[in-house]
Amino acid sequence: MVPMKIQSPVKGEWSFMNPPGHHPDAKDFVAVNDKGAPYNRFKILRHLIYSLSVSETYAWEKEVFSPFEGVVLKVENTVSDRRELNLFRDLFTGLVLAPRKGKSDIGYFLGNYVVLESLEGVFALFAHLRQGSVVVSEGDNIEGRELLGQVGNSGNTIQPHLHFQLMKESDLSQAIPIPFVLESCQVIKNGVWKSESSKLPRNYERFRV
Ligand SMILES: [Zn+2]
């Protein structure tokens, strides 16, 4: 399948941090600093054994944009965010408890989310948005690159990030992610930013858009 070419749904510096078992064509966008880390590395120990506030991560409240024209099909905006992160607890919840939920409880996994349908009938899913941040409503026409909401920490997550995927169908319990590429982005190679077009950065590669 030819990957669909889209504009990036976020701006700034990011890295795809897909956890093991994650579908390869869906991407977890995590905002990073110049070391490629999602928060200041001196806070790692606190994240592991005690608590890190979501506002200490770079992804929290980053704006999320529509990557193409279309119509808003579905919006969930009322799920509370888990505002204190603890890596051990969150991994246990995400890897041990969540799989027992079964696939039917979509909201449990996605938290707050938007589904956008393109003019060609491709569906985009934006998940784990911040409670109350979604600024579009079901049925809204999206003319281009418009603000949809903000990155949050709702649903099944271990840290604030945007889960983004494209699909051929809108039923979220059935849909399979399909490949996409970014129209343009810059990837850092040996300390030098390199422009790329119609490509997708590799997982854990630092890129800016
Ligand atoms: Zn994901």
Q: DSSP secondary structure string, 80-121?
A: PP--EE-HHHHHHIIIIIGGGG-TT-HHHHH-EEEEEEETTS
pLDDT, residue 103, reads: 67
* CA 153 – ligand 1 centroid, Å: 12
* CA 115 – ligand 1 centroid, Å: 15
pLDDT, residue 178, reads: 97
* CA 157 – ligand 1 centroid, Å: 8
Q: Tell me the sheet residues that pair with 178.
A: 166
Question: Which domain covers residue 146, as residue numbers?
Answer: 4-208
In this prediction the pTM is 0.95
Cβ neighbours around 169 below 10 Å, total: 11
Q: Which residue has the tokens 């422009």?
A: 195
* CA 55 – ligand 1 centroid, Å: 20
* CA 65 – ligand 1 centroid, Å: 17
pLDDT, residue 102, reads: 67
* CA 95 – ligand 1 centroid, Å: 13
* CA 4 – ligand 1 centroid, Å: 19
Query: Which CATH number belongs to the domain containing residue 150 in this structure?
Result: 2.70.70.10
Residues of the chain with pLDDT under 70: 102-104
* CA 126 – ligand 1 centroid, Å: 10
* CA 17 – ligand 1 centroid, Å: 9
Neighbours of ion ligand 1 (CB under 5 A): 28, 163
pLDDT, residue 97, reads: 81
* CA 19 – ligand 1 centroid, Å: 8
pLDDT, residue 83, reads: 97
pLDDT, residue 98, reads: 81
Contacts of 15 (CB under 8 A, 6+ apart): 30, 32, 36, 38, 201, 203, 204, 205, 206, 207
* CA 129 – ligand 1 centroid, Å: 12
What total of structural domains would you count in the chain?
Answer: 1
* CA 110 – ligand 1 centroid, Å: 9
Output the 3-class SS for 7-26: CCCCCCEEEECCCCCCCCCC
